[in-house]
Homo-oligomer: A and B are copies of this chain.
């Protein structure tokens, strides 16, 4: 990937359409590119602090690189502040080296060397974290290495009878889907970071995909795994279910590299879907739509993909689509309902032809009863085409000096609108106080019987040189609103360093003590991903 943004140059065509100018004018953003990224040769890279002995010991067990490109590419994830810093050429947090082991045993050997030499270790999969999860903080140590997992990308086993597979952590999701597809199987995990995210990264961060309402979150797909921790291994065989005490799988899933390195994962897979059908529906309001999705989910009739935009996101979405299907759809809706505004939903069914037909019929029956106006497959296809484009658009906005961020939470249905209002108000008032009022949009994208996720996107005019301060004010206000209103601090972005100060508000002092005790048992020297998940 480009060190200062998403994707590679060849894929950079997912830019902003001309209609975006009106939206940018709403927030007072200047026209034209205001802040181009620096070139790789111009970034200010500190010298490597890795000692010669440690370097030699690492090179004996794994590939080691400490050239400019390798260090810069592992210097940060893809959060907004990461990108602001990288674009400006500030890579002061770059790792002292990038170490790439090729096997579980090599990972063990790397951890032993690092523990012996006092080197912090930051596991690095696809590098797509948006919460500071892969930033090479060194904590109390003099040096830090990125432990790159790209050499561990094999399919280790396929059990077609049990519909399970065993994968290495560095396997990227598109490669996993391709390898499984040859066997007629699919993992069904499609986060927005799909093009670059790795299996291990998804498991370490409790990822959710765009179709997880149907296929389940990654934590529902993990049946077993192996962890290489500095103190030793934990290998949990894939079990369909067990009553053998606390579930240690759930302690390793979501550990974000702070307990050790996940070196293999056994996952549930599905038959590769023969059919996929995505459609649009329009509701009179976000509230009406949310109620309809609640009924769907609690009736067991939710589709694989179920997304509902609020009125502002619907308006922005229709604007960006220009004169195509969206304008026609909006027109159809307005004619049908004789109202302005509305909330757009995308529903998608996947599976065998029969299963899709049956499931769709039941969903549509309930949606119609809820007052939804069907818009056909054009909006569904348009959503599918753009489903991974968000990060490319973000790069365009950064180039225009716009502050842009997404954040997400989840709560019970009964609390959903209190949380929706609290977070929106926090974003508007925190950025309003800086005289940069934002445009705030939200969608529901994951349904559960007891509640749903809320995914917020906000933009505001950047104050040159103060963008990270603006971001911090908005992010802090939103996080405070989330924990105060009973939402989870993160539904699928994970904790990283950005959310670490809020974790104690969610799990309490003794919850943190339990996590710290496990970390002390598995990583006694504290070399694993310092400053992530736990604040110290």
Contact surface of A with B, Cβ cutoff 8 Å: 159, 161-164, 205-208, 217, 219, 223, 229, 231-256, 259, 268, 294, 298, 300, 355, 410-415, 446, 448-453, 486, 488-495, 499, 503, 506-511, 513-518, 520-522, 533
| Interchain nearest-CB distance for A480 vs B (Å) | 15
- Nearest-neighbor residue (CB-CB) of A413 within chain B: B162
- Contact A510-B488, Cβ < 8 Å, known A251-B247, A411-B239: no
| Interchain nearest-CB distance for A442 vs B (Å) | 17
A-B CB proximity, top 5 nearest: A240-B451, A250-B250, A240-B448, A206-B243, A517-B521
Can you show 15 pairs from A to B with CB atoms below 8 A apart?
A: A162-B414, A163-B298, A206-B242, A234-B514, A238-B450, A239-B412, A239-B451, A240-B453, A241-B410, A241-B453, A242-B491, A244-B490, A244-B495, A248-B507, A250-B251
- Contact A510-B268, Cβ < 8 Å, known A208-B243, A243-B493: no
Q: List B contacts of A410 (CB < 8 A).
A: 239-242
**Bound CA–CA A509/B521 (angstroms):** 11
Residue from B233, B244, B452 within 8 A of A499 (CB atoms): B244
**Bound CA–CA A244/B518 (angstroms):** 16
Residue from B300, B508, B509, B521 within 8 A of A514 (CB atoms): B521
**Bound CA–CA A356/B237 (angstroms):** 36
| Interchain nearest-CB distance for A193 vs B (Å) | 13
- Nearest-neighbor residue (CB-CB) of A451 within chain B: B240
Q: List B contacts of A244 (CB < 8 A).
A: 254, 488-490, 494-495, 499, 503, 506-507
Asked whether, in the complex, the Cβ of B207 is within 8 Å of the Cβ of A243, the reply is yes
- Nearest-neighbor residue (CB-CB) of A258 within chain B: B245
**Bound CA–CA A364/B472 (angstroms):** 58
- Contact A448-B411, Cβ < 8 Å, known A251-B250, A251-B514, A515-B248: no
Asked whether, in the complex, the Cβ of B251 is within 8 Å of the Cβ of A255, the reply is no
Residue from B207, B232, B240, B242 within 8 A of A490 (CB atoms): B242
- Nearest-neighbor residue (CB-CB) of A164 within chain B: B450
- Nearest-neighbor residue (CB-CB) of A219 within chain B: B247
Q: List B contacts of A253 (CB < 8 A).
A: 246-247
Asked whether, in the complex, the Cβ of A205 is within 8 Å of the Cβ of B510, the reply is no
Asked whether, in the complex, the Cβ of A254 is within 8 Å of the Cβ of B250, the reply is no
Q: Identify 6 new A-B residue pairs, CB closer than 8 A, beyond the known A162-B415, A245-B255.
A: A161-B294, A161-B414, A164-B450, A234-B514, A243-B492, A514-B522
Asked whether, in the complex, the Cβ of A522 is within 8 Å of the Cβ of B513, the reply is yes
Q: List B contacts of A229 (CB < 8 A).
A: 510
Residue from B237, B411, B493 within 8 A of A240 (CB atoms): B411
| Interchain nearest-CB distance for A354 vs B (Å) | 10
Q: List B contacts of A492 (CB < 8 A).
A: 243
Asked whether, in the complex, the Cβ of B234 is within 8 Å of the Cβ of A245, the reply is no
**Bound CA–CA A227/B507 (angstroms):** 12
Asked whether, in the complex, the Cβ of A510 is within 8 Å of the Cβ of B450, the reply is no
- Nearest-neighbor residue (CB-CB) of A217 within chain B: B241
Q: List B contacts of A159 (CB < 8 A).
A: 412, 414
- Nearest-neighbor residue (CB-CB) of A232 within chain B: B510
**Bound CA–CA A411/B237 (angstroms):** 10
Asked whether, in the complex, the Cβ of B252 is within 8 Å of the Cβ of A246, the reply is yes
| Interchain nearest-CB distance for A231 vs B (Å) | 6
| Interchain nearest-CB distance for A296 vs B (Å) | 13
Q: List B contacts of A205 (CB < 8 A).
A: 243
Q: List B contacts of A250 (CB < 8 A).
A: 246-247, 249-251
Asked whether, in the complex, the Cβ of A503 is within 8 Å of the Cβ of B254, the reply is no
Asked whether, in the complex, the Cβ of A412 is within 8 Å of the Cβ of B238, the reply is yes
Asked whether, in the complex, the Cβ of B248 is within 8 Å of the Cβ of A449, the reply is no
Q: List B contacts of A518 (CB < 8 A).
A: 246, 514, 517-518
Asked whether, in the complex, the Cβ of B242 is within 8 Å of the Cβ of A515, the reply is no
**Bound CA–CA A233/B236 (angstroms):** 29
Asked whether, in the complex, the Cβ of B412 is within 8 Å of the Cβ of A488, the reply is no
| Interchain nearest-CB distance for A523 vs B (Å) | 11
Q: List B contacts of A521 (CB < 8 A).
A: 510, 513-514, 516-517
Asked whether, in the complex, the Cβ of B232 is within 8 Å of the Cβ of A509, the reply is yes
- Nearest-neighbor residue (CB-CB) of A259 within chain B: B246
**Bound CA–CA A234/B515 (angstroms):** 12
- Nearest-neighbor residue (CB-CB) of A487 within chain B: B239
| Interchain nearest-CB distance for A204 vs B (Å) | 10
Q: List B contacts of A251 (CB < 8 A).
A: 246-247, 250-251, 514
